[in-house]
């Protein structure tokens, strides 16, 4: 067991298996929907592939499937870390605004588990799934709707598709140039030095929870925060029930 006074060591668990699986299944579905969208938009490309009807079916059903992995991941006890992260996305601190709007203050911002860019990206992707599902459904099953709805839905679908391409390409470029972040989406883990540089407030939260857990006699390093002990320690911290004097 790590004594409470010892300097914590070891990697931190950033994402559990459910979150990583969700990320990659979602990425795969987005890949299919976006790749099939290109020839649907650029008619001459669809001609090269032939079988446009098949492309539409793949596009539509991969699109309809987009929210399913998220809902499944959220539905049961296995989704506790995901639910926790979603609530982090919804919490905006002054440091997030400093990070977003001031290049001078960004260096001092005490960012939590996710920076403002990651929070905006998550909100955009979540919202985009809903809007694409609604507009795509009107385009596919158009008979109950007036023509103006179909036209409007196509316009919004195309416009948002352009924004999705920009955001997703940016997301991939970011991942490829930030190897530690990419690694954490595969292994789930990050080093403490990474957390110190990119998510200092989260590191502090984890280390306080770690000490709290070790005081309770839990031998698992709280770095692997997927465990229920660490969750209850974190919950105590959030509820200001910490037994650790503030540092």
Q: Binding residues for ligand HEM, per CB under 6 A?
A: 30, 33-34, 37, 40-41, 56, 59-60, 63-64, 66, 132-133, 136-137, 139-140, 154, 157-158, 161, 164
The residue with its CB nearest to ligand HEM is: 136
Residue (29 or 225) nearer to ligand HEM, CB: 29
Q: Give the nearest distance from C-beta 237 to ligand HEM in angstroms.
A: 37
Q: What angle do CA 126, 128, 133 make, to 5 degrees?
A: 105
Helix (H) or strand (E) holding 190: strand 189-190
H helix and E strand count, the chain: 13, 2
Rounded least distance, CB 172 to ligand HEM, Å: 14
* Least gap, CB of 247 to ligand HEM (angstroms): 45
CB closer to ligand HEM, 68 vs 235: 68
Q: Minimal distance in Å, beta carbon 68 to ligand HEM?
A: 11
Nearer to ligand HEM by Cβ, of 151 and 187: the residue is 151
Nearer to ligand HEM, 109 or 138 (CB): 138
DSSP 140-165: HS-TTS-HHHHHHHHHHHHHHHHHHH
Residues 80, 43: Cα–Cα separation, whole Å: 44
For residue 67 the two structure tokens come to 């929210």
Cβ of residue 50: shortest distance to ligand HEM, in angstroms? 15
Give CA–CA dist 100/34, Å, rounded: 28
Q: Closer to ligand HEM by CB, 139 or 195: give it.
A: 139
Look at residue 188 and give its three-state secondary structure: coil
Q: Which of 172, 68, 185 is nearest to 129 (CA)?
A: 68
């Amino acid at each position: 067991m790590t004594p409470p006074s010892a300097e914590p060591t070891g990697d931190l668990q950033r994402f559990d298996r459910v979150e990583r699986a969700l990320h990659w299944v979602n990425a795969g579905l987005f890949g299919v929907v976006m790749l099939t969208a290109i020839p649907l938009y650029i008619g001459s490309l669809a001609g090269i592939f032939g079988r446009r009807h098949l492309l539409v079916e793949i596009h539509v059903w991969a699109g309809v499937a987009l929210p399913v992995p998220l809902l499944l991941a959220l539905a049961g006890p296995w989704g506790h870390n995901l639910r926790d992260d979603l609530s982090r996305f919804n919490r905006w601190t002054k440091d997030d605004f400093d990070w977003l709007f001031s290049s001078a203050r960004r260096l001092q911002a005490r960012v939590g588990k996710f920076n403002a860019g990651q929070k905006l990206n998550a909100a955009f992707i979540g919202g985009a799934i809903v809007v694409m599902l609604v507009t795509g459904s009107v385009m596919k099953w158009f008979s109950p709707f007036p023509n103006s709805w179909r036209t409007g839905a196509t316009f919004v679908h195309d416009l948002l598709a352009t924004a999705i391409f920009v955001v997703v390409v940016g997301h991939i470029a970011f991942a490829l140039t930030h190897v530690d972040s990419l690694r954490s989406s595969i292994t789930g883990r990050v080093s403490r030095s990474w957390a110190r540089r990119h998510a200092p407030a989260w590191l502090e939260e984890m280390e306080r929870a770690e000490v709290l857990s070790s005081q309770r006699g839990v031998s698992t390093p709280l770095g692997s925060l997927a465990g229920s002990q660490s969750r209850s320690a974190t919950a105590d911290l959030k509820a200001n029930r910490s037994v650790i004097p503030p540092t």
